[in-house]
Structures are given as structure tokens and as C-alpha cells.
Chains A and B, each alone.
Chain A
Amino acid sequence: MAHGQTSYRIGEVTGLTNLSADTLRYYEKIGLLPPVQRTASGLRVYDERDLSRLRFIQRSQKMNFSLHEIGTLLDMREDPQHARDEVRQLTLHKLSDVEQRLQELTTLRTELQLLVNLCQGSEQGCPIIESIDESGNSKSD
């Protein structure tokens, strides 16, 4: 990809997003992407806006949002000032989901950081891992 490139063939988009060409065409078919521009020979040409939508879709899928919900959120993303009440409600609900996940991830990060530091700080092995091993053994005894 050249620096400053603003249009992309479908093969380039699959490389940038790790989405398959079939998936890209499907997203267009169900309206998650607006009709993609075409060259004179009919080849799809994606722009930065399309890529931005695709990245949003990918992030939302990692949060297990449904494609229907993602479509609604994309509408909100296009025109946030004029979103319908139910769209605003969904967005608020999803924001709450994200904040909860963030809290869980923060807790997990702290726990993993503690484990790493405990193992690094010990000259006689890793107390956490040994403790887990011991409890595993006692369960199987």
C-alpha cells in the first residue's frame, strides 16, 4: 500500500483487514457497506471510508455484537446528530457493554502483571505456578 493511498482494490482490502473477498461482498450485499464504487470494467474500488467502516465492523464483532446491531451502529456513526431514539438507546447499551468488558480486561491485565512480576521476583521458582500445580495435584489425589 502506497502512503496516502485513498482507493483500494478488493485484494488490497482483504490484505489490510484479513477479511475474505466473499465477506466483503456479503457486507455490501446486506448493507453494512454502501454500494462500493466500481471501475469502468466493473471492479470494486474501496475508499478510506469503507475501510473505516470495515474496521468498526471488526471491532464490534470482537465484542460479539450481531450484524444487525452493527448495521444500526453504523447508521448512528454516519449521522449521530439525527439518530432515532432506539438507535441512541442501542448505542448507550453497547457503550455499557464495552465499559464492562474494559473493566474485566483491566482486572485481567492487573492479575497477569502480578503473576509475571511474582515469577520474575522469585529466585526459587514461580510461587503462583507452583501453587496452581499443587492445587491441581491435590484435586487429582
Chain B
Amino acid sequence: MVMRLELFSAPNCNRCGQAKRVVADVVDELGTDRISVRVVNVVEEIDYAVKLGVIATPAIAVDGTLAFTGLPNARALSEALSARLAAHKDDSCA
């Protein structure tokens, strides 16, 4: 099962570009076939962002749950995604 990562961004958001690069690097490392990435413009999808509890950009949700608010460092993001991938694997084996 592919893990779903959503990066919440906004026009003129100072740190969103950097967040996109961090996400791209980490996903490349962990496997683009295992993680799907979608960039969500909160201006266009504000209801969805609010539903997930996004109060600032950048923010990252994994499988529909808010995981990071602010710019995560690559290591923290990688560890969080790896842990979830492991859980995914366990679920699919069960």
C-alpha cells in the first residue's frame, strides 16, 4: 500500500519551497514507489486544510493526519515516514 504524503503550501509562503525540497529528498531516499506526494495549496483547499487542523504553512500530513507543522528537518521527516512505512508493512502482512 502506498503511503500518502500531503505538503500544505501557500502562495508567497517563505519556507514552502524549502519544505518541498526536503520532502522530495526524503521521498527519493525512501522510495517514490512507496510514498505518493501531493502539494496542497491551502488557499484553494482551505476547507480540507482546516479539517486536518492545519494552522500554518508549510505543514505535512501523512495518510490524512497532520504530522508536521512548520518546516521539518530531513532527519525527523525521514524517521517519521520510515516508522509509518514499517507500520504499513506490518498491516499488510497481518
Contacts and interface: CB of A to CB of B under 8 A. Distances in A.
Interface of A: 107, 110-111, 113-114, 117-118, 121-125, 127-128, 130-131
A127 B9 CA distance: 11
Nearest to B56: A117
B50 A110 contact: yes
Query: For chain B, which range describes its interface: under 10, 10 to 19, 20 to 34, or 35 or more residues?
Result: 10 to 19
A121 B13 contact: yes
B43 to A, nearest CB: 5
A122 B50 contact: no
Interface in B1-18: 10-15
A127 B41 CA distance: 11
B23 interface: no
Contacts, number: 53
B54 A114 contact: yes
B55 interface: yes
20 contacts: A107-B50, A107-B51, A110-B53, A110-B54, A113-B56, A114-B54, A114-B55, A117-B56, A118-B42, A118-B43, A121-B15, A121-B57, A122-B14, A125-B12, A127-B11, A127-B12, A127-B13, A128-B43, A130-B11, A131-B43
A118 B44 CA distance: 13
Interface string B47-88: 001110111110000000000000000000000000000000
B39 interface: no
Given A107-B50, A111-B46, A128-B43, A118 B14 contact: no
A125 B14 CA distance: 12
A46 to B, nearest CB: 43
B13 to A, nearest CB: 6
A102 B12 CA distance: 32
Nearest to A130: B11
Contacts of B42: 114, 118
Contacts of A123: 12, 14
